[in-house]
Structures are given as C-alpha cells and as structure tokens.
Amino acid sequence: MVKIGMMIGDRYEILEKIGTGGMSDVYKAKCHKLNRYVAVKVLKQEFSENENFVSKFRIEAQAAASLMHPNIVNVYDVGAENDIYYIVMELVEGITLKKYIERKARLSYKEAVSIAIQVSMGIEAAHNNHIIHRDIKPQNIIISREGKVKVTDFGIAKAATSNTITSNVMGSVHYTSPEQARGGYSDEKSDIYSLGITLFEMLTGRVPFNGETTVAIAIKHIQEEMVSPKEFVPEIPGSVEAIVLKCCQKSPDRRYQNMSEVIADLKQSLISPDEDFVVNRDMDEEASTRAISEAEMNQIKRKAQRQDAYEEQMRLNTQYTRPPMDEEYDGEEEYYEEDEYDAGDSRMEKITVVLAVLAGVVICAVVLMVVGKIFGVMNTDDIGSKIDPTTEESSSQILPSGTVPDSSADSDVLVVKMSDVLGWNVEDAKREIVRIGLVPEVTMVESELYEENTVISTDILAGEDVEVNSTVVLTVSAGTQAVEVPSVAGMTYEEACNKITGMGLTVSRLESYSATVEKGKVIAQNPAGGEPAAPGSAVILSVSLGMEANKVAMPNMIGWDQIQAEEWIHENGMIVQSIGEEYSDTVAEGLVCYQNFSAETILDPGTPIVFKVSLGKDPAGAATYKYNDIIGAPTVSEAPDYTSGSDVHVTLVTDDGKVLMDMTTSTFPQSANFYGITSAGGTVTLAYTVTVNGATESRSVERRVAFTQE
C-alpha cells in the first residue's frame, strides 16, 4: 500500500497522488538521488497479484524505458518493492488532450493537425524501436504548459492486452481498431487507426462510433462505415478529411503503412489544406482479374520449360544412382554411369557459381551508385532540382545532407536534409546543425548508457527534409555525474549568474518584456531548476526588460472597493464599460467580486473593463445552477435559410434577465460553461442575416435550455 511520505526504492519520496486509471495510480514524487520531481506509476493490487501480468508488465516497461524522444513521456526506472510494482517517469505539468478538447469543445484544424504531428512523431520513434502502443487515445496524450505534446503509457498497453483484462481497465473502446476489437493480431497500423479516431475527436469534439455498451461500440468499429468529420464541421479542409478517413480504414492494408507517411501528409495539409494529395489504395482494383500480356505468357512458358527440363534431369539422375551391392553390374559400365551423373551435377554447380558472381556484380554496382549519390561522386544534378515548379509560390529546394543553404542562389532555398549527428559530441553536433541552416536546442538527460555530452537522439530524423531555420531538439547525455541545475527564477541576473557558475555551469542571456517580473530579474531558465546538466554546459536565462511601453498588466481587483477599482482604470488609460452587481458567498458586500480580465493579462490603453460589486450572500439562500454544454449552429429544421459559416449573434439569457453570453461568431459548436446561476433555465437566441431579392433581412432562432442544480 502506497502512502504519502513513504520512500520507494530508497530514492523516491511519494509527495501526492496526481492521477488514477484502470491499471494504476500515479503519484508525484521527488528523486532524492538527482533532486528532481518525477511521476511514479504504481500497479493496483489486483494486477500486482497476477504473476504472469507483472512479468509482461516489467518486460514491456523496460522496453519503453529504451525510448528517448521529445514527444514521449520518458521512462526513467522500473522496480518492485514489497509487492509494489512501479514505473518512474518524466513528470509533465499539463493536462490530457481529452480535457483540452472538453475545454475547447473542438479544435481548429490547424491546431488539431499540429498536435497530431507531434503525437505521430512520438509513435514513429516507438515503432522504429519495434514498440507498439495499442492504446492511443486522448487520455494518453499530455499537453504540457509549454505546449509540448507527449504520448504516455508506451509498452504498458501491450502487457495489458496480452492478458485477459476487461475493457473498463484497458480504457475506452472508442479508439480501438477493428482487428483489436476482434481480438486478432494488431501491429503498427492499429496505432494509426487509433490516431485517426483521436484526430477525428479533436476536429469535431466527438468520437465517430458510440453506443450503450462496449460490445456495441466494438461491433460498430468492425461493421459500420466511418462517417466523414466534415458532416459535423463542414469547414474542415478536404485533405484533413482524407487523412482521417485513410487512417480509419477497416482493412489495415488500406491505411497508411507507417507513421512517416502519416507525418508527411499531415505536414502537407498545413501547407496545402485544400489540395487533393492523399493517395488511397484501391485493393479491389489491385486484386481484379486482368488479361495476361504476350510477354507474360512467354515468360510463363519459359519457366514451364525450365521446370520440365529440371524434372527430366532429376529423373535421369535417379536412374544412374548406385545399385544395391548384392546385384551384379559390370564395373566399367557402373563407372561410366557414375561419371555421367557427376558431369551433370558439375554443370549445375558451374551455372550456380556464374549466377552468384553476376548477382554480386549487380549488388556492387548498386552500392557504388548509392555511395556516389551520397558523397557527390556521381552526377547530383537531380538532387538539387526544384520540387513542383508549377506551384504559385516560389519552389523549395532540397539540399543533400551536409550542404549549406546558399542565400545567393537565384531560387529560394527553403529545405535541407537533416544530418546524422547521433553519437556526436554535443558541440560538434550544434555546429553541424547551424552549418546546414537549422537551429539547435539541447535537452540534457541522465544516462548510464551514453558518455557525457553525447547526442542520444534528435526530434528530426537523419535524412528528413526540414525547412531552413527550423529548431532541432538534441537530446544529450548528461552522464552519471550530472550537475543539478539550480532554480534561479526571480533572482537578479547577477545573483543567478553567480549561483549557476558556482555549480560548474555557464550562462547564456536572453532578454524579453514581462508584466510580472521586475526589470533585471530572471523570468525563466532552460534547463529548468532541478534538471540534470553536464558540467560546463550552458543554462539559458530569460531576463526581464520590464513592462513594454504603453502596455499595462491587469491587477487582481477582487476585494477592492468600487472607488479604488475605478481610479485604477482611469489612471491607466482604460475605459469603464460597465459596473454590475451580484450576490457572492466569498466576497464581502460592497467589494469587487468579478472582473472581465484575469490578473496579469497584458492590456492596451483604451481597453474596456467590466467589473461587478458584491451584494453579499444571497439572503434567500436559493439554489444555484450551472450550465455546461455546447451551443450548435442553427439547424436546417430551425433555419432552412441559414448558410453554414455565416456570422451568428449568440446570446444566452437566464429567466431572471442575466446575460451569460453575448457574442458574434461563425464557428460552431461553441462551449458554454457557467456556474452560480440563480434561475433554473434560460433562452439561447441565434440571430443571423439573409439576403432576399438584394435586401438584407434579419432572422433568429430561440432555444430553451435547462440548467443543472449545483
């Protein structure tokens, strides 16, 4: 039993419980050996008692620990102690993609595709190491506070699926592939299917298959056709729709065959969203009956003749084998027949040798051509050729690995090939990355397998085409003698510099404006405090320049009196838009209890400010309500003359006259999350305009909504 404050593995102090799932509980812990915070995932008791499961769980977790990628929640350690089986992982501060989707109702296609690219890169790294996730879903994808997308639970799903575990333990069946639903063999293409379902949910805010039971949903995955996401969100580009549908094909052979194909199409969809570039395999056409050509018929005949000759030779060879010793044969005849057999066999051996030599010559020629292409021995005119010269924009040029972009060239050089810097010293790797026109970013990790300052992995694979000036993340070993980076946020630059250099590290300074940090003090640092770093490596400090001119940071006015709030607004060049009143259980009567901008928000002069003054607690003690739902666009039955994508003025007014929502938008659905409502219902009004005989007319739709009691 894990308890707060206990020590696991003589180094991990359990601080607090931060999550739970069907298989395990997750705790925030502190590693006292490296003095950093980590996440510790502990198997639940019912699984800890299953020896077969525990064995597979440890094997798969150890395999996952071999993965090192910026888009994967890295596994640091695996262990067991007093029947407690645990995995130590990177602690990522953020929220799951599932919660992020719930907060925003749905994502724009650009944001969804950008997230999908990062997820795909993490999955690709695992697939390249022969590790299949088998449980890709938004709940297993984390978005950090810095916006980095990371996939978690690699290797654990395989251990779970190899045992008899119910679907409520394994997670939602909404994302499972048809082959997994059948209980059959699953491979990398099962992850591609689940990624497609996840992308569908990001784009539409819902899953494509739903039902009352897990069995019903699984059957839909197997039997029902995939609905297009454009049926729910018509503005989704055609290329993104095609990517989702190709990922979610019932037959694995019709899907993308690997993650690199998925990533390529996702990136292309950001560049040319309306272009039809997604290639679908027509298995029926490939398997259809077709007439045999004359050349193919001659080839079949030649093969048949060679087969007949071979069988005849084998028959003759059988006749010439040595007879039993008890039969009388003339010695000379026997010698002659044996000699004929040996001669035939010798001829076959000679033919085989000649064919082997010819094959070797061909292979050598191919190898020489490949080497020549790489080192420039052969003609490389085609390597730097233009890509798609018919496009309206200036064409990109792909440069071979190690080639520096030439800014003086007639054409715009936008793309280079990533160099292979794995195993290099970090300084040499950084110079190489800069030399080919990219920007290096270093992330240090403790490692017992790699020497200090050795590049372990890169987020862009060697040979991959990448735009000039793109950032390349180099994951570098800090060795086992890593120095813990001190936390210096909030210190003056001089204090921070002295503290960092005192630890045997160097300092690099960047400057930026800040509304919250005093000029000359450290806003942030990279690596963060508590992270490992190799001795002598640089810590980048972002130092405040103070508030940018003509900008103001919104204060926390909650608890101020009305006069104080108005004075601040006028003194800082803002505008009082309105002053309201409402009951509050937490703020005393006469004090500000609401403001329309959160504290520390950077404002321009002239920004309208809304605040409300507390009336104290509601004397009636009436029940309060909440409204958590999404508001969709006018439907065909409600508004047959409404055109999708047109502007709609949306208002939500409670029965007691309070306006909860007042906005104009063309994007639906819109999320609505309100609390502390004093009436049980309200009205949503959707107002829009139509053009009739050249004249603009106003139309509106009203919907009654019921609130839920808190």
Strand partners, 475: 443, 457
Tokens matching residue 379:
């003609």
Q: Are 58 and 85 in contact (CB under 8 A)?
A: yes
The backbone torsions φ and ψ at residue 334, rounded to the nearest 5 degrees and listed phi first, read -60, -40
C-alpha to C-alpha distance for 150 and 142, rounded to whole angstroms: 5
Report d(CA 114, CA 149) in Å as an integer.
Answer: 9
Q: What's the DSSP call for residue 387?
A: S
Distance CA 15, CA 26 (A): 11
- Cα-based angle 571, 576, 577 (whole degrees, multiple of 5): 160
Q: Is the dihedral of CA 690, 692, 698, 703 positive or negative?
A: negative
- Which amino acid does the sequence have at 229? P
Rounded CA separation 65/88 (Å): 9
Sheet containing 141-144, strands listed edge to edge, beginning at the edge strand earlier in sequence: 94-96, 141-144, 149-151
3-state secondary structure 392-419: CCCCCEEECCCCCCCCCCCCCCCEEECC
CA–CA distance, 451 with 67 (Å, rounded to integer): 17
H or E element, residue 534: none
Q: Per residue, what are the HEC states of 692-703?
A: ECCEEEEEEEEE
Alpha-carbon distance 209 to 227, whole Å? 9
Cα 146 to Cα 148: distance, rounded to the nearest angstrom: 6
The Cα–Cα gap between 168 and 21 comes to 10
DSSP for 435-470 reads HTT-EEEEEEE--SSS-TTBEEEESS-TT-EEETT-
Answer yes or no: are the C-beta atoms of 590 and 610 closer than 8 Å: no
Q: Are 409 and 403 in contact (CB under 8 A)?
A: no
Q: What count of other Cβ atoms lies within 10 Å of the Cβ of residue 219?
A: 15
| Closest by CA position to 644, among listed 664, 666, 677, 675 | 666
The amino acid sitting at 368 is L
Helix, strand, coil distribution of the chain in percent, nearest 5: 30, 25, 40
The dihedral formed by the CA atoms of 683, 686, 687 and 689, expressed in degrees to the nearest 10: -160
What H or E segment, with its residue span, contains residue 28? strand 24-31
| Active site amino acids | 135
Residue with tokens 């040996």: 342
Check residue 425 and report its DSSP letter. Answer: B
Q: How many other CB atoms sit within 10 Å of the CB of residue 248?
A: 26
Please tell me what DSSP assigns to residue 377: -
